Homo-oligomer: A and B are copies of this chain.
């Protein structure tokens, strides 16, 4: 199979960037894979592993000449990276990202001067791990997972198609939605869920934690995630997260009242509804 991309550049070789590199190499998504990083460690590791052809710490050099550039940096750094990369992109290049929050980065790209058919398409693979760093990167991280793309009314279809094809090559299914819809939905199914898991651990006393069984382990697995990354995400999605948190706290308050008042049938009906919705997810 001929790779559909001539040159793929990945900016940032953490868990996600490293996994994109490994997956792209394994699945021959590009003839050449270039990595841009700030520190030499992950870049050297990626070269040694053979998952990238060339690395650089110079953003302008790394993104120049690529037909697809994937920004794999923390959410808070993405708008600045879009602005910094933009003047150095080759004509017709498509820039995308893997950030968990889309509003700010999409807005930053929309504010960049129009030039040479360069296009930004916001992206977010719904994959991850409580682990971080290049050493945790996996070639199959995206297989069978959704990747969400957030084109705007102005995004050319060909650019969306290029990014969609890329994620499909990596084993992912692609869905399109607006940045606003994205940020509201992931606030509920990802950001709040992390916050809730961190809070379950924080609220448990040490003697109780010592008795934790498999249910607690599963429910709080994501609370082993890197706090700096998640603070950055919560900050980037502040308003939708506050909305989702308010809905959640209201639900807990209602159920607390049912328990306090001994309304067990009503509580059981609520739990049944949640159980049925959860079972549909498999």
Contacts and interface: CB of A to CB of B under 8 A. Distances in A.
A88 interface: no
Given A189-B208, A200-B196, A247-B203, A146 B256 contact: no
Interface string A176-188: 0000010011101
A216 B187 CA distance: 11
Contacts of A244: 203
Given A215-B193, A245-B256, A277-B209, A199 B268 contact: no
Nearest to A146: B211
B278 A224 contact: yes
A194 B192 CA distance: 16
Contact of A230 (B231, B235, B271): B271
A132 to B, nearest CB: 11
A195 interface: yes
B221 A203 contact: no
Interface in A186-237: 186, 188-190, 192-209, 211-228, 230-231, 234-235
Copies in the complex: 2
A22 B212 CA distance: 24
Given A244-B203, A275-B224, A215 B190 contact: yes
A267 interface: yes
A249 interface: yes
A242 B11 CA distance: 48
Contacts of A157: none
Given A188-B205, A224-B275, A234-B259, A248 B214 contact: no
Contact size range, A: 35 or more
A202 to B, nearest CB: 4
Contact of A212 (B215, B275, B281): B281
A253 interface: yes
Contacts of A38: none
Nearest to A207: B185
A255 interface: yes
A246 B199 CA distance: 12
Contacts of A250: 203
Interface of A: 126-128, 145-146, 148, 175, 181, 184-186, 188-190, 192-209, 211-228, 230-231, 234-235, 238, 241-242, 244-253, 255-256, 259-260, 262, 264, 267-268, 270-275, 277-279, 281-282
